[in-house]
Structure 1
Amino acid sequence: MIHQYQNNGYNIVLDVNSGCVHVVDQMGYDVIAALNAIHPEQTASTIQTAKTREAIKAQFENTYEPEEIDTVLDDLAELTEAGQLFAPDTHEACIQDVMKRKTVVKALCLHIAHDCNLACKYCFAEEGEYHGRRALMSFEVGKKALDFLIANSGSRRNLEVDFFGGEPLMNWQVVKDLVAYGREQEKIHDKHFRFTVTTNGVLLNDEVQEFINQEMDNVVLSLDGRREINDRMRPFRNGKGSYDLIVPKFQKLAKSRNQQKYYVRGTFTRQNLDFSEDVRHFVDLGFQQMSIEPVVGDETDPYAIRKEDLPQIFEEYDKLASYMIQREKEGKGFNFFHFMIDLEGGPCIAKRLSGCGSGTEYLAVTPWGDLYPCHQFVGDEDFLMGNVDDGITKPEIADEFRCCNVYSKEKCRNCFARFYCSGGCMANSYHFEGTLHDAYDIGCEMERKRVECAIMIKAALADIGEESRQA
């Protein structure tokens, strides 16, 4: 399977099944497109046949010289022989092994607080209540959750725990106590906990910062960008904006972590489709690790992204990609989460096929100890899998998630981005299509664009590196 596109002056050819990326001249780009049109499952031998060669030469008789076409075809046949172009799909044969994997939990999202001190207008958690009641997780429930994780983690040594909400800092003492308990258990069970916390920053202070820097492998800082954008969507319950209070705290925390192991994480909506300006604002504030996610909402929500917004969103991603390249040339680069892509290694094949592991490797725990496949299913009783006292009592839910992969979704089978998004968010699929085995179409369109931009950035950075070596 071949995917071709042109972006920022680059002619890019992605061989989907091998993962190989080729940056080619216009002739190579055109000839590959012609070969793909003749047959999308070319082999080295079919490319070399006289019939194929004559067909390609006839198609470009007024554009390229026959001898030049012969040279290009020879090169393409060589790449195909090496498995780097027109590669067959060998991954589907692995899917049965992936589906047979046992449930080995490696990560928990601890809903340490079903309460929040902000009133974000797009919050899927209903200001922390998750379709239920306000509550803070007790130490006893959190302790049982960590015990459950250890008991169900098999031979995995590295375990991940995200303190989530609502707003986790509203239950700060329990966070600290659970980290201390986890450190004790590490020594007993030969495990290592990687703790993270997601916070809106309202309660962030020097004592909290010191603890975070000592114990948290990562921290996610919620901020939507420019003051007017952030305060429109992320106000206090009295309507007052949160920007002026939290930004200095976030700047201080990022600096104290040497601009590493954190993310400033924003959300863009229909009301700020010019979100590349919010990324620029993050850069101006001194941040180097950032992400701005598209909001997910029902079409009836005034802030929800609609299909007609996609052209502008694509343009914004292109602007952002060009800006990142410019900053890199100036020696002032930064990381944007959705453009971080590994073209050489990347996730293992199981992860590429089946995604985030929600419902099997990753679970969410409510303040009272109920287990759900992930934070976006919390409150939906159809997805209540068990609790920290009894463990997983409905393994059939895990089985359903385990069977969800890029080959169980028709929309994914022929999508060039399938091995990068791994089928997309199952919660979005369920909430928009009523099944785990589908896809949220608007989200898919944006993901495809992000993948294209990310690959183009890699090509541009390779050029920058080559220029530096020749200088």
Structure 2
Amino acid sequence: MKYTIAVTQQCNLGCSYCYISSNREVMSPATADRIIEFMFRHTPEDETIEIGFFGGEPMLEFDLIKTISSRIRSHRGYNPDKVNFFIVSNGTIFSDAIADELVRLQLPFGISCDGPPHIQDSSRVFRDGRGSSTVVEKNIRHALRSFPFLPVNAVYTPNTLQNLPEVIDYFYALGVRVIYLNPDISARWTREHAEMLPELYRAVGEKYIDYYKQETPCYISMIDSKVTVIMRGGYQPLEKCRMGKGEFAFAPSGNVYPCERLIGSDNGVTHCLGNINNSNLTQVKCSHDASQIANGICPACELNQYCMNWCGCTNYFATGDYNAPGAFLCASEKASIGVALEVINTLGNEGIPFSDHLAGTPLMSIIGESVLKG
């Protein structure tokens, strides 16, 4: 079960592609308490609870995050082996004191950054128009001292798609070893963009292979996730989108959405499933069903079981339908699956067994190499 808590919709950045409208709303402790009760009541006993703190910029309300995490840990249903936390930050707010608190409270932390300055500053700017690259790069370097496997999430747009190999080089040079690459799902992607993907993804794959051969591996989401799925023979039911059933997002107002990407302006209408403060949400279901794809192409495709055509929010932004994937997602999935197969074949011949990927823990390859190197 995945629960995203947007503690605030305030943000100190004005990113051009943000799908969350910025406002002054901050979640109240009373609303947070009702969310906590909902999480523990709603989660089946055999499932873990994944809790993400989100925004806006969540680190603007770090004290609230600490309060909520403390209340979760003191809840009668809390099991440390079955509850995982994560904070997604824009990387503009960080310090030694924050690092110490994150470590003390065991709150994993990740930063969103799109790449080197000319890419980062093309979309991710402060409210006064200043680029954020200088402060974010400094904070990534700073955070890596406390979190050597700091995840960094890079969004690419139609204007920066061609820079994907450069983005990988930039993060790797900084010392980042966990890189997530995600397209701007609200962008107007064209056939020309889709046709660029195989070559660009292959260039990223070549870097990935080189890192392994140099015994300095790097987790790259578009490759490692697909290697894992291929090794397992396809996505398992609980790995697919379960928005509105196994995934909920809570706006600061208490409004409940099937996914954090669908909070939007939090108007309480579009995508909204109710409000935690005045509704009985235990039986609320979203209309999305990951097993029902609304076209005649995907079910017959030989790559269907390895494809993320079930991602409801991505589909909605592309086609207006939770269950209908768009052409760019199709092209991206085909390209990433193809590169993952090339990686498996190439590194398999080098004696890499991919046992960690098969076990669902691809990051262990990176951790193991780091330990061996002292």
Short-chain TM bin: 0.7 to 0.9
Which residue pairs with 2:241 in the alignment?
Answer: 356
> How far apart, in 2, do the equivalents of 1:444 and 1:267 lie?
18
Deviations 1:183-240 (A, max 9, x none): 111x555464211000012111112212223334642211111111101111111111
Which residue pairs with 1:375 in the alignment?
Answer: 260
**Equivalent of 1:154, from 44, 48, 63?**
44
Which residue pairs with 1:57 in the alignment?
Answer: none
Deviations 1:290-348 (A, max 9, x none): 0221122343xxxxx32212232321111110111112111121110111121333776
| Residues matched between the structures, number | 345
Q: Cα 1:213–1:345, aligned 2, differ >3 Å: closer, same or farther?
A: farther
> How far apart, in 2, do the equivalents of 1:349 and 1:197 lie?
26
Task: Say whether 1:345 aligns with 2:240.
Answer: no
Q: Cα 1:228–1:166, aligned 2, differ >3 Å: closer, same or farther?
A: same
The TM-score with structure 1 as length reference comes to 0.68
Q: Cα 1:406–1:279, aligned 2, differ >3 Å: closer, same or farther?
A: farther
Shift of 1:454: 1.3
Q: Which has the larger radius of gyration?
A: 1
Deviations 1:51-73 (A, max 9, x none): xxxxxxxxxxxxxxxxxxxxxxx
> How far apart, in 1, do the equivalents of 2:44 and 2:279 lie?
15
Query: Quick one: higher RCO (CA 8 Å, sep 6+), 1 or 2?
Result: 2
Percentage identity across paired residues of the two chains: 20
Which residue pairs with 1:322 in the alignment?
Answer: 206
Q: Cα 1:253–1:346, aligned 2, differ >3 Å: closer, same or farther?
A: farther
**Equivalent of 2:177, from 288, 313, 319?**
288
Which residue pairs with 1:172 in the alignment?
Answer: 62
Which residue pairs with 2:9 in the alignment?
Answer: 114
Letter in structure 2 aligned against 1:370: N
Shift of 1:267: 1.0
SS at match of 1:314: helix
Shift of 1:417: 3.0
**Equivalent of 1:297, from 186, 189, 192?**
186
Shift of 1:411: 3.2
SS at match of 1:413: helix
Q: Cα 1:397–1:466, aligned 2, differ >3 Å: closer, same or farther?
A: closer
Letter in structure 1 aligned against 2:95: N
Does the 8 A contact of 1:195 with 1:215 survive in 2? no
Which residue pairs with 1:71 in the alignment?
Answer: none
Does the 8 A contact of 1:116 with 1:167 survive in 2? yes
SS at match of 1:255: helix
> How far apart, in 2, do the equivalents of 1:390 and 1:410 lie?
41
Which residue pairs with 1:81 in the alignment?
Answer: none
> How far apart, in 2, do the equivalents of 1:217 and 1:173 lie?
13
Deviations 1:341-396 (A, max 9, x none): 213337763236xx221110010001011111111222361421122234555956
Q: Cα 1:204–1:189, aligned 2, differ >3 Å: closer, same or farther?
A: closer
SS at match of 1:135: coil
SS at match of 1:271: coil
Q: Cα 1:107–1:205, aligned 2, differ >3 Å: closer, same or farther?
A: same
> How far apart, in 1, do the equivalents of 2:130 and 2:13 lie?
10
> Which structure 2 residues correspond to residues 222-241 of structure 1 after superposition, within 5 A?
222-241=112-131
> How far apart, in 2, do the equivalents of 1:222 and 1:336 lie?
14
Does the 8 A contact of 1:383 with 1:397 survive in 2? no
Give the aligned CA root-mean-square deviation in angstroms: 2.3
Does the 8 A contact of 1:406 with 1:413 survive in 2? no
Unpaired segments of 5 or more residues in structure 2?
354-374
Deviations 1:227-276 (A, max 9, x none): 1110111111111111111212212222322x33x311111112222211
> How far apart, in 1, do the equivalents of 2:56 and 2:207 lie?
33
> How far apart, in 2, do the equivalents of 1:239 and 1:219 lie?
26
Letter in structure 2 aligned against 1:118: L
Q: Cα 1:204–1:404, aligned 2, differ >3 Å: closer, same or farther?
A: same
Which residue pairs with 2:90 in the alignment?
Answer: 200
Letter in structure 2 aligned against 1:275: L
Task: Say whether 1:438 aligns with 2:333.
Answer: no
> How far apart, in 2, do the equivalents of 1:193 and 1:360 lie?
18
Q: Cα 1:454–1:159, aligned 2, differ >3 Å: closer, same or farther?
A: same
**Equivalent of 2:216, from 332, 341, 359?**
332
Q: Cα 1:217–1:297, aligned 2, differ >3 Å: closer, same or farther?
A: same
> Which structure 2 residues correspond to residues 174-189 of structure 1 after superposition, within 5 A?
174-185=64-75, 188-189=77-78
